[in-house]
């Protein structure tokens, strides 16, 4: 994810210099939101519907990408908030969502406003519940669940350079790691450090936007981090690429990472990297922010959905890519 705004996105509007192979089986725009709707993150429901967050809208937004005439709808609005960021499914059709009061131009949130909620979208009238707030944080960003740890959500803090563990049953909040390698730098991506976050097996994968690398950490059975941070891939030196954002992991362990300002890259577990969409002087992906694979019979597990901020063309895009 990125807490990008018009100011940040203007900063991230460089062209690219890499060769850009065509997508394997094509892509298309599913839907484009109205001007000013900057999409921050995405999750897929088991029935194939998509859910979106936005740092400029305090709502959880739903879209059926398979409809002949897709039309978004707000399924839940978060009180005392101006935007949303990370999202992850904790139980079937129950999603954990981060919401707070955002200062969009500064890419930071009001201290004390950031909270984790759960929203049960499987109900005829979706039900939201505030789980816990993190009073000291101004940058809660990515969110992920961990296999074998029901009810536990890991959350990245882009400003602190750390990872929190939140128990949705007890509301316990614990800082499990703070590390200089997870911090940002003031000269890139508005200083946002650890950004996108995904757990797989006994590892947690993450992108550091300002420091321009994709890495991983090992997790213990008690969800403590162990060992050193491993760098898997870097935003290439000497190019006009500016920052990794959020990403999706496929079944083979490849990471499909959104890359500002106009690209999607695939990184293998060994660190091999190639552009699969956008790049060069392409402006089709207008500041991509996150990605998720489809689900369900109509969702198609081989379809990757990419969301963007839409800066320079209108509102955020929802793009489907056949992988």
Six token digits for residue 133: 């707030």
Residues linked to residue 177 through DSSP beta bridges, in sequence order:
163
Neighbours of 299 (CB within 10 A): 21
pLDDT of the residue at 9 = 36
CA quadruple 18, 42, 152, 168: dihedral sign: positive
Question: What is the rounded distance in angstroms from the CA atom of residue 265 to the CA atom of residue 172?
Answer: 36
Question: What is the rounded distance in angstroms from the CA atom of residue 42 to the CA atom of residue 248?
Answer: 10
The stretch 18-46 carries a mean pLDDT of: 80
Give 170-224 pLDDT, tens digit per residue: 999 999 999 999 999 988 888 999 999 999 999 999 999 999 999 999 999 888 8
What does pLDDT average to over the chain?
A: 90
Q: Is 307 exposed, middle or buried (0-12, 13-18, 19+ CB in 10 A)?
A: buried
CA quadruple 59, 65, 67, 70: dihedral sign: positive
Question: What is the rounded distance in angstroms from the CA atom of residue 178 to the CA atom of residue 195?
Answer: 14
pLDDT at 63 over 70: yes
Q: What is the band of 8 on the pLDDT scale with cuts at 50, 70, 90? A: very low
pLDDT of the residue at 311 = 78
- Is 0.75 topped by the overall pTM? yes
Q: Is 49 exposed, middle or buried (0-12, 13-18, 19+ CB in 10 A)?
A: buried
CA quadruple 204, 208, 209, 212: dihedral sign: negative
The stretch 66-87 carries a mean pLDDT of: 97
Yes or no: say if 57 and 83 are a contact pair by the CB < 8 Å rule.
yes
Give 142-172 pLDDT, tens digit per residue: 999 999 999 999 999 999 999 999 999 999 9
Give 281-291 pLDDT, tens digit per residue: 778 899 999 99
């Amino acid at each position: 994810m990125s807490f990008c705004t018009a100011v940040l996105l203007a900063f991230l509007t460089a062209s690219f210099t890499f060769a850009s192979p065509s997508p394997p089986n094509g892509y298309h725009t599913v839907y484009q939101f109205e001007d000013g709707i900057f999409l921050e993150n995405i999750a897929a429901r088991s029935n194939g519907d998509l859910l979106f967050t936005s740092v400029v809208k305090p709502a959880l937004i739903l879209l059926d990408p398979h409809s002949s005439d897709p039309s978004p709808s707000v399924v839940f609005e978060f009180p005392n908030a101006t935007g949303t960021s990370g999202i992850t499914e904790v139980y079937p059709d129950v999603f954990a969502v981060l919401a707070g009061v955002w200062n969009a131009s500064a890419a930071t949130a009001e201290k004390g406003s950031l909270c984790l909620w759960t929203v049960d979208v499987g109900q005829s009238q979706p039900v939201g519940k505030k789980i816990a707030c993190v009073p000291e944080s101004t940058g809660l960003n990515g969110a992920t669940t961990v296999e074998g740890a029901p009810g536990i959500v890991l959350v990245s803090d882009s400003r602190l350079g750390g990872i929190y563990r939140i128990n949705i049953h007890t509301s316990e909040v614990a800082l499990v790691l703070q590390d200089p390698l997870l911090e940002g730098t003031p000269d890139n991506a508005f200083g946002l450090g650890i950004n996108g976050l995904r757990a797989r097996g006994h590892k947690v994968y993450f992108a550091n936007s300002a420091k321009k690398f994709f890495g991983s950490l090992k997790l213990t059975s008690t969800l403590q981090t162990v060992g050193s941070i491993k760098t898997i891939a870097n935003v290439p030196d000497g190019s006009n690429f500016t920052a990794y954002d959020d990403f999706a992991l496929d079944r083979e362990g490849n990471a499909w990472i959104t890359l500002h300002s106009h690209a999607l890259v695939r990184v293998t577990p060994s660190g091999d990297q190639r552009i699969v969409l956008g790049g060069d002087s392409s402006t089709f992906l207008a500041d991509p922010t996150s990605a998720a694979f489809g689900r369900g019979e109509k969702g198609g597990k081989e379809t990757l959905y990419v969301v963007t901020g839409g800066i320079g063309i209108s509102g955020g895009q929802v793009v489907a890519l056949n992988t």
